[in-house]
């Protein structure tokens, strides 16, 4: 195979690094490769896996396969993003290649961290137009620290204004900065169009299949270690649930052999447990998990039969239990309260019991597989404090529970602070915004008013502007949807955690007040006129409202109660027809994420299978006024 072309100066800049001492080739399994696909969100990971699956003919001729096959979960398909890391496998030139597709969105970084340890190499995808983005650096650093061998895949070379040469150079700079051994610096570069399923090592000769990528994979990604004679060691990297089998633990066998029925012990944080038996053993073949008679070192396996197993545990031989180093999973950055629905409409929409006990059980079940999530008891028995890796991480859980039939209320997300040297510290993020040149003014104003500091700004004739900010995570809550509004849906924002700083005062919230319903009942056109005269309505006629429910955005500061159920005085028979002729502006419909961004600390989002409502914590207007007075005098 031809060595990848690389600019000369790259070699000149290579630091003097000592090559890792590779084990003797005989102990490596030449029939196997484990590779993770990593990238920033939307750079094309899942599309590339699609292409590899399609070209390796894993589908029978009659099977209709769609796009983004690996994004099999309902919310993944709806949102067009990967949420859960998943493994698939293909066979190429007699070698089984296990491919781990990972999510690129920073909120699901916990998934990536866990599964990287199952691979010996990674395909680092970089969009040929966007170049390396914040999450590219985050996932690459993790992969290199674990000793993975990277292959640089410059994807979307077909995009108008694509800049493959600049992208390669910027990616090499990243590698130089982050590499942990000299081998990693010799990463080859492959150019792909994942959508078409083509790859080439030389842009002058366009590819026709993904074979050049597969060949590079076999050449550069080290085969896994294959010591089958030693005692069993299997580090659990991920958990999953199967409706028939139950809890599945996923990991790559580091040493030894595993079979169904075999006796093992679990090495957990609290020590070595009692002997247990493996019930089911599965390996992945194409898109399916198939029962296996046995699996040997190097292979990625799914096992059941160990009910309490957790991520980071080692499954080991009872005669020689040697735990592997535990996995470190990054800490959550945001928390919010989940509470039993206390709204006047509680019990109307839920299709499953949503009492405190049921919510607790549901959240406990989530913790079994959603490893980056934390749940703690709140101030009362009806409240749970749920912490996650970001707004989207928490929003996906809320949406999933809502679809399962639960109803509950959630509070505004808050950052998780840390005590460092006796001082309160908060997370600081670097925030990168890509937008059109026209939106720059509005965006700099929005970020400035939140106390974010502009680090750099680049404008490009072809692709608009790129702004880099540094700001506390707290200042960025709700920013994503604001950017979408300011840029009419074209702006893209991505962030990465860069450190912790002392808590400081930020400019206070710039949201104006809300319009709340003063009466319970059905909103009608006449009553809604009162809402639109004062601001922007969130609901239309026919919506059931209750006192204290948020039904619109006030144009000014301060909250106002409006009677949306108010009918026009019926003086004669024509009154009701007149009501129908009232001209109403269309209400602003808010998504769950937008509602979470929107509410303040004294407000809640009520989530039910049928819809989402926003409300004041204190519903009765008179009580809210009293409370406000008390706060002002305190």
By CB under 5 A, name the binding residues for Mg ion. Answer: 45-46, 82
Burial annotation 194-211 (CB, 10 A radius, 16+ → b, else e): bebbbbbbebeeebeebe
The terminus-to-terminus CA distance of the chain in angstroms comes to: 76
**Beta carbon of residue 156, minimum distance to ligand GTP (angstroms, whole number):** 4
DSSP annotation of 26: G
- The secondary element (H helix, E strand) that includes residue 416 is none
What region does 213 belong to: left with phi over 0, alpha with psi -120 to 50, or beta? alpha
Contact with ligand GTP (CB under 6 A) among 35, 36, 39, 621:
39
Residue 159: name its binding partner from ligand GTP, Mg ion, none (Cβ under 5 to 8 Å by kind).
ligand GTP
Residue with tokens 């309505």: 537
Q: Are 216 and 201 in contact (CB under 8 A)?
A: yes
Asked if residue 193 binds ligand GTP (CB under 6 A), the reply is yes
Closest approach, Cβ 447 to ligand GTP, in A, equals 24
Q: How far is the CB of 75 from Mg ion (least distance, A)?
A: 13
- Two structure tokens written together for 146: 């674990």
Measured from the CB atom, the residue of 153 and 525 that comes closer to ligand GTP is 153
- Give min distance, CB of 52 to ligand GTP, in A: 12
Query: Which of Mg ion, ligand GTP, none is residue 299 near (CB under 5 to 8 Å by kind)?
Result: none
Residues near 183 by Cβ (< 8 Å), separated by ≥ 6? 19, 20, 149
Is the torsion defined by CA of 299, 305, 309, 311 positive or negative?
Answer: positive
Work out what residue 281 binds among ligand GTP, Mg ion, none; the CB cut-off runs from 5 to 8 Å by kind: none
Nearer to Mg ion, 46 or 89 (CB): 46
Q: Cβ closer to Mg ion: 46 or 193?
A: 46
Joined tokens for residue 347: 């019990």
C-beta closer to Mg ion: residue 43 or 266: 43
To ligand GTP, the closest distance from the beta carbon of 82 in angstroms equals 3
Q: At what angle do helices 45-55 and 211-220 cross, to 10 degrees?
A: 100
Choose among ligand GTP, Mg ion, none what residue 615 binds, the Cβ cut-off being 5 to 8 Å by kind: none
Q: Which does 156 bind (CB under 5 to 8 A by kind): ligand GTP, Mg ion, none?
A: ligand GTP
Interface residue with ligand GTP, options 91, 137, 141, 159 (CB under 6 A): 159
List Cβ neighbours of 357 (8 Å cut-off, separation of 6 or more).
none
Least gap, CB of 142 to Mg ion (angstroms): 17
Write the DSSP assignment of 88-127 as a string of letters.
EEEEETTEEEEEEE---SGGGHHHHHHHHTT-SEEEEEEE
The stretch near ligand GTP (CB under 6 A) out of 140-148, 150-158, 298-306, 468-476 is 150-158
Specify the residue, 161 or 485, whose C-beta has the smaller distance to ligand GTP.
Answer: 161
Q: Are 148 and 36 in contact (CB under 8 A)?
A: yes
Q: How far apart are CA 347 and CA 407, in angstroms?
A: 8
Pairing state of beta strands 314-316 and 263-268? antiparallel
Q: Where are the alpha helices (DSSP H) in 122-248?
A: 134-145, 164-178, 182-185, 211-220
How many residues form the binding site for ligand GTP (CB under 6 A)?
A: 22
Give the x/- contact pattern for ligand GTP in 41-80, rule: CB under 6 A: xxxxxxx--------------------x-----------x
Nearer to ligand GTP, 46 or 473 (CB): 46
Q: Which is nearer to ligand GTP, 192 or 276 (CB)?
A: 192
CB of 41 to ligand GTP, least distance (A): 4
Q: Min. distance of Cβ 128 from Mg ion in angstroms? A: 17
* Interatomic CA distance for residues 19 and 28, integer angstroms: 18
The interface partner of residue 44, options being ligand GTP, Mg ion, none and the CB cut-off 5 to 8 Å by kind, is ligand GTP
Task: Please give the Cα distance from 179 to 124 (Å, whole number).
Answer: 13
Stretch that binds ligand GTP, among 36-44, 283-291, 526-534, 597-605 (CB under 6 A): 36-44
**Rounded distance, CA 587 to CA 294, Å?**
60
Q: What does the H/E/C string look like for 289-342?
A: EEECCCEECCCEEEECCCCCCCCCCEEECCCCCCCCCCCCCCCCCEEEEEEECC
The interface mask with ligand GTP, positions 76-105, x = CB under 6 A, is: ----xxx--------------------xxx
- From 154-162, 357-365, 564-572, 609-617, give the range in contact with ligand GTP by CB under 6 A: 154-162
Who contacts 272 (Cβ-Cβ below 8 Å, separation ≥6)? 265, 266, 316, 321, 323
Handedness of CA 129, 88, 119, 81 (dihedral sign): positive
Q: Does 195 bind ligand GTP (CB under 6 A)?
A: yes
Tell me how far, at minimum, the Cβ of 150 lies from ligand GTP, in Å.
16
> In the complex with ligand GTP, which residue's Cβ is closer, 42 or 407?
42
Closer residue to ligand GTP (CB): 155 or 554:
155
**Does residue 158 interact with ligand GTP by CB under 6 A?**
yes
195 interacts with, out of Mg ion, ligand GTP, none, CB within 5 to 8 A per kind: ligand GTP
**Looking at 53, 85, 175, 194, which residue binds ligand GTP (CB under 6 A)?**
194
Min dist. Cβ of residue 46 to Mg ion (A): 3
> Collapsing DSSP states into helix, strand and coil, what is residue 139?
helix
| Contacting positions for ligand GTP (CB under 6 A) | 39, 41-47, 68, 80-82, 103-105, 155-156, 158-159, 193-195
């Amino acid at each position: 195979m031809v060595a990848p072309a690389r600019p000369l100066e790259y070699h000149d800049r290579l630091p003097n690094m000592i090559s890792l001492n590779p084990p003797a080739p005989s102990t490596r399994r030449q029939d196997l490769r484990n590779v993770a696909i990593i990238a920033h969100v939307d750079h094309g990971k899942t599309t590339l896996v699609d292409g590899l699956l399609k070209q390796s003919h894993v589908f029978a001729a009659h099977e209709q396969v769609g796009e983004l096959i690996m994004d099999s979960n309902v919310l993944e398909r709806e949102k067009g993003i990967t949420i859960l890391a998943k493994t698939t496998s293909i066979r190429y030139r007699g070698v089984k290649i296990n491919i781990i597709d990972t999510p690129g969105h920073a909120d699901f970084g916990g998934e990536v961290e866990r599964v990287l340890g199952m691979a010996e190499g990674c395909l680092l995808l970089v969009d040929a137009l966007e170049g390396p983005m914040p999450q590219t650096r985050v996932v690459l650093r993790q992969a290199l620290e674990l000793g993975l061998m990277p292959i640089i895949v410059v994807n979307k070379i077909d995009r108008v204004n694509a800049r493959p040469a600049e992208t390669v150079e910027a990616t090499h700079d990243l590698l130089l900065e982050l590499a942990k051994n000299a081998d990693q610096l010799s990463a080859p570069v492959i150019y792909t169009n994942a959508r078409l399923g083509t790859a080439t090592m030389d842009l002058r000769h366009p590819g026709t299949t993904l074979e050049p990528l597969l060949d590079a994979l076999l050449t550069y990604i080290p085969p896994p270690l294959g010591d089958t004679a030693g005692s069993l060691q299997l580090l659990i990297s991920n958990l999953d649930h199967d409706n028939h089998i139950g809890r599945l633990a996923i990991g790559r066998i580091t040493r030894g052999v595993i079979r169904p029925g075999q006796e093992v012990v679990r090495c957990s944080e609290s020590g070595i447990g009692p002997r247990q038996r493996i019930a089911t053993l599965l390996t992945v073949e194409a898109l399916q998990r198939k029962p296996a008679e046995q699996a040997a070192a190097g292979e990625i396996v799914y096992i059941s039969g160990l009910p309490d197993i957790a991520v980071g545990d080692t499954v080991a031989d009872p005669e020689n239990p040697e735990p592997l180093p535990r996995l470190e999973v990054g800490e959550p950055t945001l928390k919010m309260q989940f509470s039993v629905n206390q709204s006047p409409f509680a019990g109307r929409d839920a299709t499953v019991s949503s009492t405190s006990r049921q919510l607790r059980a549901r959240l406990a079940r989530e913790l079994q597989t959603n490893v980056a999530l934390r749940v703690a008891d709140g101030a009362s028995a009806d409240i749970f404090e749920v912490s996650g890796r970001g707004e989207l991480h928490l929003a996906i859980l809320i949406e999933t529970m809502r679809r399962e039939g639960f109803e509950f209320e959630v509070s505004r997300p808050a950052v998780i602070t840390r005590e460092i040297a006796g001082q309160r510290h908060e997370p600081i993020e670097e925030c990168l915004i890509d937008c059109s040149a026209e939106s720059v003014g509005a965006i700099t104003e929005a970020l400035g008013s939140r106390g974010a500091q502009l680090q750099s700004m680049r404008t490009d004739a072809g692709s608009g502007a790129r702004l880099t900010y540094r700001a506390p995570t707290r200042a960025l809550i709700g920013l994503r949807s604001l950017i979408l509004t300011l840029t009419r849906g074209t702006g893209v924002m991505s962030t990465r955690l860069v450190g912790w700083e002392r808590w400081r005062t930020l400019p206070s919230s710039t949201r104006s007040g809300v319009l709340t319903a003063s009466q319970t009942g059905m909103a009608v056109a006449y009553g809604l006129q009162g809402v639109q005269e004062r601001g922007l309505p969130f609901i239309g006629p026919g919506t059931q409202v209750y006192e204290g429910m948020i039904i619109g955005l006030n144009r000014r500061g301060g909250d106002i109660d409006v009677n949306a159920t108010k009918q026009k005085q019926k003086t004669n028979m024509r009154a009701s027809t007149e009501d129908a002729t009232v001209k109403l502006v269309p209400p602003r419909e808010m998504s769950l994420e937008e509602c979470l961004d929107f509410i303040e600390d004294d407000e809640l989002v009520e989530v039910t299978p049928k819809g989402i409502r926003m409300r004041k914590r204190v519903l009765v207007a008179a009580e809210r006024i009293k409370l406000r007075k008390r706060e002002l005098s305190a």
